[in-house]
Amino acid sequence: MTEAGKTARIRYDEGCLAAHALNVIGDRWALLVVRELMLRPKRFQVIRAGLPGVTASVLTQRLGQLAQAGVVMHDDDLGVYALTASGRDLLPVLQAMCRWGATHPGHDPRRFISPTALMISMTAMIDSAAAQGWQVSAGFRSGPESFVLRLAGDGILRVEAAQPAGADFILDGEGNALARAVYGRESLQDLAAQGVISLSGNGGAAQGFVGLFSLR
């Protein structure tokens, strides 16, 4: 993979470290581009599918700026974009923003949510105390994207982009349908009966698992 220089464009002419961080990732869409690449490398059009409000030209600009800042790399042979170690270090920032955003009114869960965005939000919004002692692997599928989320007894939810073969259960649906299954009040059985999602594997484990999440 090739990597450009790491000089950030100056937006805030201050010595504050927060201002310096915003000089790197503060442009509109920049942090959401990082979000879409957090779990795996992606081609340009796949990134754009997770950001339906961004134009091709703006996305090209942001990828170029993030590459110049050393946050993103582009593989010329495979044609994919990936995060550098510096980019991956932004995961706790995204998680903190999810938790912070959940405390403020005005969030509308009916608006578009990408599968990757949902996965990251789940790592932030899980009830870690209630999840203590849980050992489960949860599979999620949404179109061409697949994920495995694991609890290993310590209450920390870990996620990777991977095929969920062998998971205790698998939930399948588009991003907002899966968000409704995780954060909504309807049972998974009812949602599956309505055709909102599909559920395979251990239904009891699946229902218990989604009970660990709340937006409130």
- For the chain, which domains are there? 17-89 (1.10.10.10), 105-210 (3.30.1050.10)
Q: What is the pLDDT of residue 125?
A: 97
pTM reported for the whole predicted model: 0.92
Q: What is the pLDDT of residue 7?
A: 55
Give 10-residue mean pLDDT values along the chain (216 residues). Answer: 52 90 93 98 97 96 96 95 98 97 90 97 97 97 96 97 96 97 96 97 97 90
How many Å apart are CA 26 and CA 3, to the nearest integer? 20
Using an 8 Å Cβ cutoff, are 70 and 92 in contact? no
Q: What is the pLDDT of residue 45?
A: 97
Alpha helices in the chain (DSSP H): 17-25, 30-37, 44-49, 56-68, 85-88, 91-102, 115-125, 128-131, 175-183, 188-193, 203-210
Q: What is the pLDDT of residue 8?
A: 58
